[in-house]
Amino acid sequence: MYVTPEQIQAAGKANVETVLSLAAMQFAAMEKLATLNANAVKSAFEDSLSNTRALFGAKDVQEFMNLQSTLATPAVEKAIAYSKSVYEVASETNAELSKVAEKRVAEWNENFSSLLDKAVKNAPAGSDVAVAAVKSMIAAANSAYDNMAKVAKQATEIAEANVAAATETAKGLAKVKKSA
């Protein structure tokens, strides 16, 4: 039951591939956020120029007040859309990272179980109790991990529902202000 250089090399290669995959995921998420931020800043700048021109073109106070309330609604809607887009990027990235973590945990468990089975074959008599304890500990850890993953998934679903509800509420408030 010795670890061969090929096994070490394969494990190292798998770890490097995982790290590179994670780095690519993070880079893609940062790229999406950078694009989203650049577009938001550009849009906000263009809107502020347009809004300023419109406000300075108001002929009286009443027109100025009406313009202010009219111009605020699209800004609120854009802020909501921006927030939702940022949340979507974060959620997508989190889901991808969770998949990688689950895969690596499953691989680790499989490798550890295989190693433990090999060790059992060469173990001295009477070590069955220790091996059973280690297997029980691994099963308990896997169960705890599965429970935490389920709780995290439920929390994510609740957060998504809350974001959707808040978005609809904000849209409703913007419509009420617009019609008022």
pLDDT of residue 20: 92
Cα–Cα–Cα angle for 152, 78, 90, rounded to 5 degrees: 25
pLDDT of residue 176: 60
CA 151 – CA 154 distance, rounded (Å): 5
Residue 46, pLDDT > 90, answer yes
CA-based nearest residue to 54, from 63, 41, 45 = 63
Is residue 173 very low, low, confident or very high in pLDDT (cuts 50, 70, 90)? low
pLDDT of residue 158: 84
pLDDT of residue 15: 85
CA-based nearest residue to 81, from 44, 31, 30, 26 = 44
pLDDT of residue 2: 64
User: Average of pLDDT values for 128-132?
Assistant: 75
CA 66 – CA 79 distance, rounded (Å): 21
pLDDT of residue 41: 95
Contact 107, 14 (CB under 8 A): yes
What the block records as the tokens of 107 is 């691989």
Beta carbons within 8 Å of 8's beta carbon, 6+ residues apart: none
